[in-house]
Amino acid sequence: MDSESGLQRQEDIHELSGWISVWYDQAVAARFISPPFVLDDATADRLQGYFDVGLTPGDAVHAFFGVMH
């Protein structure tokens, strides 16, 4: 792995971490979850998928907790 791709990965992880923090704050504000909330691997993978397709944290809150038809 070259240093440039490693740097990009670190930036991606930092961006995803910030995105999940905003998602968490919005989910708490909407009363879908209460602190403390433990982020398990399955939830983290699902949130990363929402992030990867470009959902906003607010849209991801609704996608995650919304009623499926």
2 has a pLDDT exceeding 90:
no
Query: Which tens digits make up the pLDDT trace of 22-58?
Result: 999 999 999 999 999 999 999 999 999 999 999 999 9
Residues 36, 55: Cα–Cα separation, whole Å: 24
pTM value is 0.83
1 has a pLDDT exceeding 50:
no
- In this structure, the dihedral spanned by the alpha carbons of residues 44, 46, 48 and 50, taken in order and rounded to 10 degrees, is -140
> Helix or strand or coil: residue 9?
helix
Q: Where are the domains of the chain?
A: 3-65
Asked if 61 and 30 touch (Cβ cutoff 8 Å), the reply is: yes
Q: Using omega within 30 degrees of 0 as the cis cutoff, is the peptide bond preceding 57 cis? A: no
